[in-house]
Structures are given as structure tokens and as C-alpha cells.
Amino acid sequence: MQQAVVAEDVRRAYGDTVALDGVDLTVEVGEVFGLIGPNGAGKTTLVRALTGTTDAEGRVEVLGAPPRSVDRERIGLLPQEFSPPERLTARELVAYYGGLYEEARPVDSVLADVGLEDDAETWYEKLSGGQKRRACVATTLVNDPDLLVLDEPTTGIDPAGRRALWSLVERLADGGTTVLLTTHYMEEAETLADRVGLLAGGELVAAGTPAELVAEYGGEPRLEVTVEGDVRAATAALESAGYRAVETRGGLAVGGIAAREIGDVAGALDDGGVPYGALAWTQPDLEDVYLALTGTGVGSGGEPVDREAEPADAGTPATTTVRTGGDRQ
Amino acid sequence: MSRSGRIRAEATAATRSFLRRRTAVFFTFFFPVLLVLIFGVVVRTGGTGGGLFALPPAYYVPGYLAVVVLFTPLSRVGSEVARHREGARFEKLATTPLGRAEWLFAQTLVNVGVIGLAALLIFVLVVAATGANVVLGARTLLVVPYVFLGVVLFCGLGAVLGRVADSQDGVIAASNGVALPLLFLSETFVQPELLPGWLPVWASPLTYFSRGVRAATYDPAGGSVAPNLIVLAALAGLLFAAGAVAIPRTD
């Protein structure tokens, strides 16, 4: 398969601050690649390195050429903090950027793609936050690019708008467009991306399909138990039945539980005489991968949780104490 | 889209953006008008035998024109560069076929249109309000290339200031800091005899604008129009190139 983007040992520092520390990355033609990572991880710097808008060390090739030599008719970029001229209408804005290319798509078609047909004559500054971001996305579609680079395209967009944009990206990908996007929304990366790369501290610490990443770093399925009685008694009841129970703010989390075992856990609680309210079974997802690999997460109360202090397979975002029960693996 | 198409797209967007900022439009025209009214009508020291504004009103036509030719491009292009930087617009444009020189040329065209209109307004106002006895004839048309080249030159300088300053406020402060000394030390409002001999007025590009426009519009000035035009053209080319290079394409 051909590679749309190749980055080898890409480095970029701002003074003493290292933004990119030897990043290697490839994006195949037609692939949707999602970049995730905490604020300051280097996502935007990497996007800039790949689009030639920052001076980075290392080797970068985009569509077979160095970023600054690539045929600009073939790429589309949405910078993270992009703010176009505010007193142009959505239609004028799309027409303006379309006018910069040899061949541009019809303005109405682009506006329809981002759901702005009805607001085409509204000045950009009068659009809502989500509409503004969609108008910005429209400016990247106007040349029908082979490679689309979107730096946090759905930030500030409401859930319905976000899903509409996801559909658009999926349609573009189905049509063969290569998409590289950064996002803070794990669901977005998991939904859209064929492969996901996780940046932390300027390094690409993991890359693979969402399923591969979840399998390798996400931990186990778990059952959240809302305990209405004594949590310690509940923990003891589960441990005596051979389950590994971890105390959480709302009750317990039981790790390594398959869906078919939910009834067994409920039975163990009943046997121990422990009243409980709800059982919620969850599979690990990309967010668990993110939290596991970035080292810190945020507890449900908002306070940082040191992931190093937890067993990697516990997968509980708000653990205050850890009790290890019998091994059910 | 061809180069001319790209420039047209950029210039159209820039024109619309400017015309829709009513305050900016108003003061672009009002500021020089105010200056004409203050110095040409209210402060009339002619006939006192010396000092500022002691010469016939036509002598000061280049000065009034210089106000718009100097201030407007500096602040407008400088601010536009700052706005583009703050909005990551250059980052976006760097991935489009629009080149830096094309961008600056488009902005310059918009300024040529705006400042051309303002200059015409000032010219008429000076004649009407101060009774300036300017030369009217074919030679007067030479003011047009002077205004054009002056705008090109200061658009280039504005782009440099936009690059150097880190915000729109910074651009305004920097352009005022550059423009005010240039305006008064370039044979515009202050005749050379009143300036110290050591002052290198030749180093100011506005000097060649003043001398050329004066030669074209004010009979007693004498002198030739062409040499000043050539120098101004050379400086305009230099500053435009510097401005194009200064336009950022990276972070």
C-alpha cells in the first residue's frame, strides 16, 4: 500500500521545551489516522511538521514530496486555532478559499457537506461556535484534497454537529481521501480512525488499530457495582468468591469479568447478604488506553489519579483504595 | 486557478473585509481630512515670515497626501499580518497555492484603491479649503504613480512591522513610531531649511515622494519629477520584496 505520510525521527524544540522527540509515523493512502494525546503532547506541532508550517528536524514526506514541495492542490489543512476573516459570509469564505485553487468544488456542494446551506449568507462572526468550526472545515474541503489534515475539527461542535462531521469524514474516507486528524474525543478517534497514534511528551508511545491498542493497553472488561450497604463487606464477599474487587467512589469495580459472568457476581453479592443498586458492565475502550499510557487520569471528583499506583488491569478511573482479590484469570 | 485568479480571490476577500469594518473605513478617510482642516484651515501661519506653515498652501499638498500614503498602508497591512497570525490564517494559506508575494500584492491592490480614493479626496479638499494654487495639467497626473509606489513601499514596510510586532496593538504602536518621524522629517510639512543639516532626510523614502509630488504640483518647487520617481520605484520594489519575505509561513 502507498504511504500518504511518512515521518521519520521528527524532532522539534522551542527553546528548552521539546515538542517532538523522534516521532516515526506512517499514514497509508486512503487511511484515517487519529492522533490523540494530552494537551501539550505535541499533536499540533506534529501536524505543523507534516504540513511544513514549522521547522522540524527529521524526514517528512507528504504525498511523496517534502511538505513544502508538495502539490498544494492536493492537501487541505484545518489548523487548530484557525479563525478566518470574520466579516465574510459562509458562502464568501468558501468561495474565497476556492479561488486559491486551480479546481474548486461548487460552493453550494461544500456548504451542504458541512450543513451550512441555510446559513450561507451569514457573516462568519455571526455564526454559532459549532457553525464556525464547520465553516472552517468547509474551507479545507473546497479543493477536494487527497490528504485532509484536521487539527481538532470537532472542538466546540455540539454532539449532533459532531456526528454529522463524522459522517462527512467517513464519506470522504470511503471516497479514498486520506485523513489525519487530532482529537481529544476518544469516541471520535475510535469511531473514525483506522489507526490511532498516541502522543505523550513529544513521543509516539503507541500506534495501531483501536482494537489492537485496547487489547494491548486497555485492560480487562469490568463490572461496576453500586453498593448500597457496607462496601467492605461487599468486597469481602466478592473476594471470597474469587473475584478481584476494587473499591470506587460509588461502590466496587470487579475486574476480568466476562458478560456471561455478571449473574455469578450478583449471586456472590446475594450470598454475602450485600445489598446493591446497579450493575454496569463495561468493556475497555480507547479512553482506558489513553489513561494507561499517559500516566495520569482525572478522577470522577476532578482530582488527578496516579495511574502508576493502580494495577494496569483494574481500569477504574476513580480508585481510592486498591484491594486485590482472588485470581479469576 | 491562475496567479491572477488567486490574487483576485484574496483581494476580493480583503476588500469585503475592509469595507465591512465601518469604523476603519470612516477613519481611513476622516483622519487626513481632519489634518487638512486643522493645519490648512485652522492653523494658518502663512504671512508671519517664518516657522511652520509659512509657505503657500500648495507647498503642503505632498504632506497631506503623505499622511494617507504613509499611515494607512503601514497600519492596515501590519494589522492584517497580525490578524492573520493570531487566526492561524498564514498556517492555512501556507498549504494553499497562494504565495506570500501574491498575498501581499493583493493586499497592496486593496490599499491602492482605498488610498487612491482618499488621496483624491484630500487633493480636492486642500484646493477647496485652503485655496492652494496647485499645478493642474498633464504633469499633475504624475501624482498617480507616486501614490501607487508610495503605497507599495509602505505596504511592504507594514508587512515587516506585522512580522516584527507580536500583536495588533504592537503593530499600531510600531507603525506610529515609524510613521511620525518619517512624516515630519521628510520634507513634507517642514521645509528643509528648518531641519538641521546633519539630518539624513535622504534616508527617508518619503522624501522622494514629497519632492516628486511637489515637483508635479507646485510651480516654485522646480526640480525634475523623474529622478525621484525612479528612486521611489527602486525603494518600493525593495520594501515590497522584504515585506513578502517577512510574511510568516511557519509558527
A324 occurs within a structural domain? no
A131-151, pLDDT tens digit by residue?
Answer: 999 999 999 999 999 999 999
Per-residue pLDDT at B1 exceeds 80: no
The answer to whether B161 touches B248, Cβ cutoff 8 Å, is no
Residues A184 and A234 in one domain: no
CB contact under 8 A, B87 and A78: no
End-to-end CA gap in chain A: 39
Residues A120 and A267 in one domain: no
CB contact under 8 A, A98 and B250: no
CB contact under 8 A, A84 and B87: yes
CB of B22 less than 8 A from some CB of A:
no
Of A72, A76, A81, the CB nearest to B97: A72
Contacts of A81 in chain B (CB under 8 A): 87-88
Percent with pLDDT over 70 in chain B: 94
Per-residue pLDDT at A307 exceeds 50: no
Range of the domain at A260: 217-309
Per-residue pLDDT at A108 exceeds 70: yes
Residue in A with minimal Cα distance to B3: A100
Stretch B9-17: mean pLDDT: 96
Q: CATH number for the domain including A260?
A: 3.30.70
Last residue of a domain, one of A167, A183, A208: A208
Percent with pLDDT over 70 in chain A: 89
CB contact under 8 A, A82 and B92: yes
Nearest CA distance, A9 vs chain B (angstrom)? 20
Residues A250 and A136 in one domain: no
Residues A172 and A256 in one domain: no
Stretch A228-257: mean pLDDT: 89
Residue in A with minimal Cα distance to B103: A100
Residues A249 and A182 in one domain: no
CB contact residues (below 8 A), chain B span 73-132, against chain A: 86-89, 91-98
- pLDDT for A21: 95
Residue, of A67 and A316, whose pLDDT is higher: A67
Nearest CA distance, B163 vs chain A (angstrom)? 16
Task: Give the number of domains in chain A.
Answer: 2
A33 occurs within a structural domain? yes
Stretch B51-67: mean pLDDT: 86
Q: CATH number for the domain including A42?
A: 3.40.50.300
How far apart, in Å, are the Cα atoms of B232 and each of A94, A286, B119, B224, B246? 38, 63, 18, 13, 20
Distance between CA atoms of A117 and B43, rounded to whole angstroms?
57
Contacts of B94 in chain A (CB under 8 A): 51-53
CB contact under 8 A, B12 and A51: no
Contacts of A15 in chain B (CB under 8 A): none
Residues A190 and A221 in one domain: no
Contacts of B9 in chain A (CB under 8 A): 95-100
Distance between CA atoms of A240 and A256, rounded to whole angstroms?
16
Nearest CA distance, B251 vs chain A (angstrom)? 5
- pLDDT for B50: 62
The answer to whether B118 touches B72, Cβ cutoff 8 Å, is yes
If DSSP codes are grouped into helix, strand and coil, which group holds residue A279? strand
CB-count exposure of residue A221 (10 Å: 0-12, 13-18, 19+): middle
Distance between CA atoms of A225 and A202, rounded to whole angstroms?
38
Per-residue pLDDT at A29 exceeds 90: yes
Residues A21 and A60 in one domain: yes
Per-residue pLDDT at A28 exceeds 80: yes
Residues A204 and A287 in one domain: no
CB of B41 less than 8 A from some CB of A:
no
Residues A265 and A189 in one domain: no
Q: How much is the pTM?
A: 0.86
CB contact under 8 A, A72 and B96: yes
Residue in B with minimal Cα distance to A143: B96
CB contact under 8 A, B12 and A99: yes
A127 occurs within a structural domain? yes
The answer to whether A144 touches A110, Cβ cutoff 8 Å, is no
Cell of A51: 504540513
A210-242, pLDDT tens digit by residue?
Answer: 999 999 998 889 899 999 888 888 999 999 999
Contacts of A53 in chain B (CB under 8 A): 91, 94-95, 249-251
Stretch A298-316: mean pLDDT: 35
The answer to whether B162 touches B244, Cβ cutoff 8 Å, is no
Stretch B92-99: mean pLDDT: 96
Which residues, listed in sequence order, are joined to residue A149 by a DSSP beta bridge?
A77, A180
Nearest CA distance, B22 vs chain A (angstrom)? 11
CB contact under 8 A, A52 and B96: no
Residues A223 and A202 in one domain: no
Stretch A78-106: mean pLDDT: 96
| Identity of residue A95 | A
Contacts of A54 in chain B (CB under 8 A): 250-251
B interface mutation test: which of A5, A53, A89, A150 has the most B CBs within 10 A?
A: A53
Nearest CA distance, A329 vs chain B (angstrom)? 51
Distance between CA atoms of B167 and A308, rounded to whole angstroms?
43
- pLDDT for B49: 57
CB contact under 8 A, B87 and A102: no
If DSSP codes are grouped into helix, strand and coil, which group holds residue B209? helix
Last residue of a domain, one of A208, A225, A257: A208
A329 occurs within a structural domain? no
Distance between CA atoms of A257 and A313, rounded to whole angstroms?
11
Within a 10 A sphere around the Cβ of A268, how many other Cβ atoms?
A: 20
pLDDT band at A79 (very low <50, low <70, confident <90, very high): very high
Residues A122 and A17 in one domain: yes
Distance between CA atoms of A23 and A7, rounded to whole angstroms?
7
Residue, of B30 and A250, whose pLDDT is higher: B30
How far apart, in Å, are the Cα atoms of A97 and each of A73, A84, A91, A94? 12, 10, 10, 5
Cell of B45: 501661519
Domain ranges of chain B: 3-246
Of B6, B14, B93, the CB nearest to A99: B6
The answer to whether A250 touches A286, Cβ cutoff 8 Å, is no
Q: What ipTM did this prediction achieve? A: 0.89
Last residue of a domain, one of A162, A185, A208: A208
A297 conformational bin, left if phi > 0, alpha if psi -120 to 50, beta if neither: beta
Mean of the per-residue pLDDT values of chain A: 87
Q: Parallel, antiparallel, or unpaired for β A222-227 and A203-208?
A: unpaired
Backbone dihedral angles phi then psi of residue A69, each to the nearest 5 degrees: -110, -5
Residues A254 and A164 in one domain: no
Stretch B23-39: mean pLDDT: 84
The answer to whether A147 touches A180, Cβ cutoff 8 Å, is yes
Selection from A1, A150, A2, A139 nearest residue A63 by Cα = A2
